[in-house]
Structures are given as structure tokens and as C-alpha cells.
Amino acid sequence: MHDPRSHILMADALAGRITRRQTLSLALRLGLASPVIAALLAASPRDSRASSPQAAPARLSVAQEGSGSLTVIIPSGFSDLDPQYAYDNLSSMFFLATYEMLLQLKGSSTDEFEPMLAESWEASSDQSTYTFKLAPGATFHDGTPCDAEAVKGSFARFLLQGGGPVNVISRFVQDPEQMEVVDATTIRFNLGRPQPLFLAAMASEYGPFVVNPKAVEANKTDDDPFAHQWLQDNIAGSGPYRVTEYVPNDRVVLERFADYHKGWDGSQFDQILIRVVPENSTRRQLIENGDADALTFSLTPDDVAALQGNPDLQVLTYDTTNITWVTMNAPRLKTPEVRQGFSYAFPYEQVVDGAYKGLLTRTSGPIPSTVRGYDPEGFIYETDLAKAKELILSGGFVEGDSFEYMLESEDEVEAVVAQLFQANVAEMGFQLELTELDNATLNQLSYGGAPAEERPHFFGGWSWWPDYNDPWNQLAPNFLEASTGEGGANAGYWVNARFEEIMAEAETYTDEEQLVGLMKEAQNILTELDPPAIYYGQLQWYTILRKDIQGYHHNPLYLGSYPFYEMSRTSTG
């Protein structure tokens, strides 16, 4: 690892500051080799969705309990406090409170925007130039003006540092010279060609946060010219809340930034406490007992079902952009017909009702219904074991043949999914051998360079959502030929020539109607004609709040986040 960013990542992993899933995301985007990734994963704490119960920790003391303070529970610590380096939705939840983007998604919409640091914006007629008017008088938490020069300096750092989420913006802007400071409160992005998705990317929760260049300059070193190490434990933002205490993998305390440019009307929370609670049973106990006010997607489906009737809680479920599927090994399963057969063999209704307890909606393929280009009339498989067996046999397999299915160990929900699928495969006269691997080993196999013949027939429990509202961004990492092999997410080595052509057009589209047509054909290939995966459907996420919390709304792309500036506690409780 000669890249200094790799050494920083290793230090974080060894110190336990980032989880395995977060380590993997960063390591892959740095292009690290498989043995290095394996070492990093081994050094990192395991992600935990549901683990063994432990005694509930004592509640931390916060000022004016129940009046001005909000306690949020999360299952693991933040991967990195540098908003232009971290690439996970848990860290983004924190950034949306402490930093600002120029604009953000409006309410629960995935294609409407509202001001954040910019008060207004305008696109040229051909959508090749975008001009943003900044809020006058905006400052960073240290009092430094957050003006157009600062915004340009921040985005220059973002591009040049090349951290995890840089591709969100570098798809549209490659050179800092494409940014023009018009005056103190006006910045223009000259993209060079029509880019209708630029605003969507600028509102992504991954990366386009404005970081104080003055703080970066003051804390950079020869070995760390972007002050990344300093920003791992410090905040240089202009958001509504500032950090007063940070204990990695334990807690972070935020308080109002008094000089926030949007002002305060008195109803918002004075203080926000974010607590790391790895144990599923403890998280449930804290929210039930009133020792916590909010959590998102960090219990089991059984827990969520049990809490639905609790009069002291709001259990809010909602659509997301998160699609879940089983990846199929295309070379080992031989033909599209065999993969169609296993798609017909999957127990969809049992998975929706039995494993996910209704927290899953069937959709037509890997594009979420909340993302542009989704085809609501697309092909959807239903369970048909007779047709499934016929198709599997047509590929040269015979009764009694065995197929390998790998999944993450200790994932209770996916274990149920695998067992239900195994029962259907057995009913057809075949065998499905289930192998549970720890997260590090499973990810090493799926993202590594092992050839198809050394991979299982199925990888269970795959999940993906896009960085912003764009189907190309959702599909490219998982299904393009360029994503096969070392570091790629196309773990089933699936390749389809026509799909490659469609994606090349979709990457640079300029007309929405054109995109819809391309994606309709792409979805038909990915489902009915030549499926690379068995699609369960679109996950329903949930947020559980105490009954006196108001002002919350979800967004399908800001998974796990809270509109902290808009939230408050009712006076009646």
C-alpha cells in the first residue's frame, strides 16, 4: 500500500474506528488488492444488525432531559468524519447535521430540491452550466466566511483528494478550473456539455459537502496535504449543529450553531446526542423505555412488528431506493434459461411475509420504483416450481445435482431466506448447499479476483441503492462487464452485449424520454430475458420515534438520516 490514503485506512481499521462494511467500501474505491482488503477487513469490527443481548447501558446525562435534547441510537460508529472521504449512509446522517451541501432533496422527493447553503440556482438552457447564489453572511463554525471562494476551494479538495465518493461529482466535473467564482456569493460550474443529472448529484448525501478550506490549510501536512487525518476527528462545516463532544464508537454530542445562517425559531432541539449501541436487544430496550428518542433500520423485522402496537412510539415505514437480490453465477449456471428457472423457484411470498414481515415490496428488477427509469409494467417472476425444474434441466443439469449458496453468518433474516429457497430447490429434486461465512470472508470472495468456477452458484443477501436518482448509477457497479473481477460488484460475472450498449447511452443521456426507453429495455434484459440475479424486491425501511417527536420526514435516498433542523418535541409529550 504505497498510497498514503491506504495507510490512513489501515490505521482506522486497526483502531476500530470503522466497521468492516465501511472498510470494504473505502478499500474498493481505493483499488486495493484482495490480500490487502482481507487484512483490513480482519482488523475492523463486524457490522451488527442483530447480536446477543447485553444489559442496557446507563443513559448519558444531557442538559434539560426531555426539553431541548434528542437522543438518537445507531448500531455502529462512523466510518470517517471527513465528509468528502466517507461513503456510507450512517456517516452521512451525521454530516447532514454538521455540514451543508449547496442544495438538498426536498422532503421525501428524489427529484425535487430545496436550498441548503445556496439560496437559489439556475441552469443554462442546454444544462451545461449551473450557477448557484449563496446565502449571504453564511459562516463556518469557526467564524470563517462560507463564500464562493470557500465553496470552490472545498470542491477542489473533493476532486483532488479522490476519496470514496468522488465519483458522485467527478462524473460531471473533472477539473477545479471548471468552477468559476463570479462574485463573493455566486459560483458557476461550467460542465462542458449538457448534464441534466448535475443537480441530483449535487444533492447526494455522499460527498458534495462544503468543507472549510481555511481549516484544511491550517491542519494539512506534507504527508497529508488534504488534512484528512485531522478531519477524521474534527468538524469544519457550516451546518446547523456543531460538535461539542466526540468519543469514537461511543457517542457524539451536537449543539446548535448560534450563527447558523438560516437562524433559529426556538422550537428546534438545543442538543442532539447520537449514541452507538451495537446490541439489537439493547437498542429495542432503550427506545421502548424512553431512554432514546429515535432509531432507523437497526432492529429485526420481528422487533418492528412487535413495536407497531406500542402507544408510546411512532413506527414509520416507507419506500426506499434499496433493492435486495440473490446474485447468480452466470458461467456456472450455464444459460439464461437456467437462471430463469431458479428465478421461478424462489419463494417470493414466503420471503416477503415470513422473513421480512412485510418490510419488502416486489418490484420489477434492480431499479427501485423511487428512481427515474423504473418500469412499473416490467416483468416480475412468480414462484412456479414445475416451470423452474423444466428450465433448469434444459441447461444440462440433472435431478440430484447440487448447487452452492453462500450468505453472511449471523444474519437471521437472510438465513430464513436461504432456508426457504433451499426447501423449494429440494422439492424440485435438486440440492442447495448453504454455507455461512463471516462478513470479511464473504466480501473477500465476492469482491475479489477469483474466477467464476471458484465462486458459489449463488451469493445471497445482496443489497444496493444509488448515490442519487439515476438508474445508470444503480446498475453500473453491479452488472457492467467492467465491474467483474478484482474490486468489482458484478460478483456473478454476468455479461450481456446489448446491456453494455444501453448503459453506454444511458451514462451520457440528455433526454428523459430517451432514458426511460433505454431503461425499459435494460430491465427486460435483467429480468425476463437474461437475469443475473433473483430480485426479492424493494426494502421498506423504518424509523421509530417516541410519540412526542415531530417534524421528521424520510427521504428514499437519504437512508438513515434525520432532518434535525426541522425536528422538535411537542410540549404536551
- CA dist 462 and 444 (Å) reads 14
Over residues 456-509, the pLDDT tens digits come to 999 999 999 999 999 999 999 999 999 999 988 999 999 999 999 999 999 999
Q: Evaluate whether 226 touches 220 at the Cβ level (below 8 Å).
A: yes
Rounded to two decimals, the pTM is 0.86
Query: In terms of DSSP bridges, do strands 313-328 and 458-464 run parallel, antiparallel, or are they unpaired?
Result: antiparallel
Over residues 245-274, the pLDDT tens digits come to 999 999 999 999 999 999 998 899 999 999
Q: State which residues form the domain around 5.
A: 1-45
Residues 73 and 41 in one domain: no
Q: What is the mean pLDDT of residues 349-373?
A: 96
| Banded pLDDT at 53 (limits 50, 70, 90) | very low
The pair phi, psi for residue 405, each rounded to 5°, is -130, 120
Over residues 370-409, the pLDDT tens digits come to 999 999 999 999 999 999 999 999 999 999 999 999 999 9
State CA 244 to chain mean position distance: 27
Residues 21 and 100 in one domain: no
Residues 523 and 554 in one domain: no
Q: What is the mean pLDDT of residues 299-306?
A: 96
The pair phi, psi for residue 196, each rounded to 5°, is -65, -15
Query: In terms of DSSP bridges, do strands 271-276 and 251-256 run parallel, antiparallel, or are they unpaired?
Result: antiparallel
Q: What is the CATH number of the domain that holds 377?
A: 3.10.105.10
pLDDT for 4:
38
| Banded pLDDT at 410 (limits 50, 70, 90) | confident
pLDDT for 439:
87
| Banded pLDDT at 572 (limits 50, 70, 90) | low
| Banded pLDDT at 32 (limits 50, 70, 90) | low
Residues 389 and 251 in one domain: no
Residue 8 lies in a domain: yes
| Banded pLDDT at 2 (limits 50, 70, 90) | very low
End-to-end CA distance of the chain: 54
| Banded pLDDT at 64 (limits 50, 70, 90) | very low
- CA dist 364 and 524 (Å) reads 9
Q: Evaluate whether 471 touches 503 at the Cβ level (below 8 Å).
A: no
State CA 221 to chain mean position distance: 31
Q: Evaluate whether 124 touches 191 at the Cβ level (below 8 Å).
A: no
pLDDT for 431:
98
Residues 117 and 37 in one domain: no
Residues 258 and 117 in one domain: yes
Residue 283 lies in a domain: no
Residue 27 has pLDDT above 70, yes or no: no
Residues 82 and 9 in one domain: no
| Banded pLDDT at 299 (limits 50, 70, 90) | very high
Q: Evaluate whether 555 touches 320 at the Cβ level (below 8 Å).
A: no
Residues 241 and 332 in one domain: no
Q: Evaluate whether 250 touches 78 at the Cβ level (below 8 Å).
A: no
Residue 296 lies in a domain: no
Between residues 33 and 281, the one the model is more confident about: 281
| Banded pLDDT at 51 (limits 50, 70, 90) | very low
What is the share, in percent, of the chain residues with pLDDT greater than 70?
A: 88
What is the share, in percent, of the chain residues with pLDDT greater than 90?
A: 85
Helices and strands (DSSP H and E) totals, the chain:
19, 19
- CA dist 162 and 96 (Å) reads 21
- CA dist 22 and 36 (Å) reads 15
- CA dist 289 and 270 (Å) reads 22
Residue 287 lies in a domain: no
CA atoms within a 13 Å half-sphere pointing along the CA-CB vector of 354: 13
Q: Which of 573, 557, 564 is nearest to 206 (CA)?
A: 557
Residue 186 lies in a domain: yes
Question: CA separation (Å) from 363 to 27, 211, 271, 373?
Answer: 31, 38, 40, 13
DSSP H helical ranges for 428-511? 439-447, 471-479, 497-507
Q: What is the CATH number of the domain that holds 173?
A: 3.40.190.10
Number of domains in the chain: 3
Q: What is the mean pLDDT of residues 415-440?
A: 97
Residue type, 560: G
Residues 16 and 73 in one domain: no
Residue 278 lies in a domain: no
Residue 302 lies in a domain: no
Residues 214 and 83 in one domain: yes
CB atoms within 10 A of CB 350: 18
Helix 385-394, helix 336-345: angle, nearest 10: 160
User: Lowest-confidence range among 42-51, 63-72, 281-290, 439-448?
Assistant: 42-51
Over residues 128-148, the pLDDT tens digits come to 999 999 999 999 999 999 999
Residue 524 lies in a domain: yes
- CA dist 147 and 144 (Å) reads 9
pLDDT for 18:
47
Residues 15 and 158 in one domain: no
Classify the C-alpha dihedral 48-54-59-60 as positive or negative: negative
Residue 30 has pLDDT above 90, yes or no: no
Residue 34 has pLDDT above 70, yes or no: no
Residue type, 111: D
Over residues 93-127, the pLDDT tens digits come to 999 999 999 999 999 999 999 999 999 999 999 99
Look up residue 46 and give its three cell numbers. 463486524
Query: In terms of DSSP bridges, do strands 533-546 and 360-361 run parallel, antiparallel, or are they unpaired?
Result: antiparallel
With vertex at residue 451, the alpha carbon angle to CA 448 and CA 455, rounded to the nearest 5 degrees, is 80
Residues 395 and 490 in one domain: yes
